[in-house]
Amino acid sequence: MSEADKKATKVKSGVVKRLAKELAMYEQEVAAEQAKVQRLKDSGADPHDIKYAENILAESSAMLPDTRQRLEDALRELQGLLEEFGGSLAGSEELAQAEEQVAAVQPLFA
């Protein structure tokens, strides 16, 4: 196994990990913004404030499908690398990290 193959696997694992964190962050942000909009509506806040909060919610919500698609693509690429290099990576730290990322993210797409 070449160092380039190890590096490629490590980079792809990092991309999957970063995108999974990004997706979780956007999901938390959407939930927080939904709660904020509801709180503003319940308290009878100024319509302008409600509209502004709804715009922020819409922007956050718009990021979810794109981030999810990028994560799915990155996962597919990582799985392809594991199929290609899996045998030659046996016992390596890079293989363990890649398999860990695949196991963590795969349930999101099941």
Judge whether residue 89 has pLDDT over 80: no
Which tokens is 53 given?
A: 């909060």
**CATH number for the domain including 9?**
1.20.58.90
Q: Give residue 1's pLDDT.
A: 56
% of the chain surpassing 90 pLDDT: 64
The CA dihedral of 81, 85, 90, 91, to the nearest 10 degrees, is -50
Domain span at residue 25 reads 3-109
| CA atoms of 29 and 102, how far apart (whole Å) | 24
Q: Give residue 86's pLDDT.
A: 65
Structure-model confidence comparison of residues 109 and 101, the more confident one: 101
* pLDDT tens-digit readout, 11-61: 999 999 999 999 999 999 999 999 999 999 999 889 999 999 999 999 999
Element of type H or E holding 47: helix 47-85
Domain count, the chain: 1
